[in-house]
Amino acid sequence: MRDWLLYRTFWDLTITGLALGSIYSLVALGYTLVYGVLRLINFAHSEIFMVGTFGALMASQEFLGIPMLEDGGYPYRTGFMLIVFLVFILLCAMVFSGLGAVALERVAYKSLRGNGDLFGAVVLAFLTGFVVSMVFVDDTLANVIVAAILTAPITMGYMSLFRRGKQSPRLAFLISAIGASTAIAEAMAIWGPEKREQYQTPRILEKDVLFSFLGADVRVDNVIVIVGALLMMVALTLFVNKSRLGRGVRAVAQDAETARILGVNVDMIILVTFALGGVMAGGAAMLFTLVYEQSRFNIGFILGVKSFTAAVLGGIGNLKGALLGGLVLGLVENYASAVFGGQWKDVVAFVVLLVVLMFRPTGLLGESLGRARV
């Protein structure tokens, strides 16, 4: 009986599945880009998405001062103002995520590549001082002051210890990624204004049905998410394929050592790659808050796992693969919910992943941003 539900509501499920899938795709791009150049699964990328949702939240509630409710209804904006607001929120989310991703790279990964990094050392020194003073004093302000005083000497200590000129083993990066992910999420849970509670973002877009497509109602927000995500992906692809920096990204992805010999600033390119992934995650975060109007300190966790799955499904390291993987995953989840019930959707999604990997170990489209084939 439930399969007839799929038959009857196929297009409804397709549209909502594509909307969620495009958000998966955007986040998956971050995993794929970083994997392409560093061969690293950046598990903290889910937290970059989380930071983006809070960027969107701050943009709408703090910078634009939009209330949750106006006269008992949603604070709808229309016409030109709506577009200005949406673009502003999008940019804020992208800036938050982009900067977050860059900071993450400098603090959690760059030092491990063996050359040390002043910014990373300063942040780590501050955190060290903070944690140490927390052992003795239970007062955040005092901790901050002590940490600030200690930052300079500890930084010097760290910088002198850094200079190894030797890359850490791959496992170290992985642990650093997982650690950074937990640290960022928990920091948000401890110091965020609502702690571990759910945040609501105001609704400025009236979610009207735009048109009917084969019996399915297509809402404005679905269209914005799908079209917005596609535009961002086209822009990213153009950037990677046509621009100078993009060429650098491809060069480092193919062979970092040769690229370095040929004069490519590899560290800079890695930073650019993280920034690109962060900006895409910021875009995803803005679209996510547009549709689901919520955030939480751990909002990135499930979405991150799904997006990583999408990246692997499409072929990790492959930009088009991330797009395809995200959309396929969004659709499969929705169809599976209709046929088997919501509690089965993750099971079905991962069965599909395993089956695909069994026949195509490198994912649907294979690795293409990957190493040069020799």
CA distance linking residue 210 with residue 340, whole number of Å: 30
Q: What does the CA dihedral 144, 145, 149, 152 come to, rounded to 10 degrees?
A: 30
Per-position x/- string for 182-201, each x denoting binding to other proteins as judged by CB under 8 A, each - no binding:
-------------xxxx-x-
Of 103 and 147, nearer to other proteins (C-beta) is 147
What angle is formed at CA 286 by the lines to CA 272 and CA 312, rounded to 5 degrees?
Answer: 60
Contact 57, 93 (CB under 8 A): no
The verdict on 13 binding other proteins (CB under 8 A) reads yes
User: How far apart are CB 374 and other proteins at their closest, in Å?
Assistant: 37
The verdict on 111 binding other proteins (CB under 8 A) reads no
CA distances 1 to 214, 340, 345, Å, are: 22, 10, 17
The verdict on 8 binding other proteins (CB under 8 A) reads yes
The verdict on 138 binding other proteins (CB under 8 A) reads yes
Helices (H), the chain: 2-8, 10-38, 45-58, 79-104, 118-136, 140-162, 170-191, 220-242, 244-254, 256-261, 266-292, 299-314, 319-340, 345-359
The bridge status of strand 199-200 relative to strand 209-213 is unpaired
The verdict on 334 binding other proteins (CB under 8 A) reads yes
User: From the list 72, 165, 193, 263, which residue makes contact with other proteins (rule: CB under 8 A)?
Assistant: 72
Helix (H) or strand (E) holding 325: helix 319-340
Of 117 and 333, nearer to other proteins (C-beta) is 333
The verdict on 325 binding other proteins (CB under 8 A) reads no
The verdict on 114 binding other proteins (CB under 8 A) reads no
**Nearest to residue 296, comparing CAs of 151, 196, 160, 177?**
196
The verdict on 161 binding other proteins (CB under 8 A) reads yes
The verdict on 359 binding other proteins (CB under 8 A) reads no
User: From the list 278, 324, 345, 363, which residue makes contact with other proteins (rule: CB under 8 A)?
Assistant: 345
CA distance linking residue 181 with residue 305, whole number of Å: 12
Query: Could you tell me which stretch among 145-153, 224-232, 262-270, 271-279 binds other proteins (CB under 8 A)?
Result: 145-153
Binding site for other proteins (CB under 8 A): 5, 8-9, 12-13, 16-17, 19-20, 68-69, 72-74, 128-129, 132-133, 135-138, 142, 146, 150, 153-154, 157, 160-161, 195-198, 200, 203, 207, 209, 217, 219, 288, 292-294, 298-299, 302-303, 333-334, 337-338, 341-343, 345-346
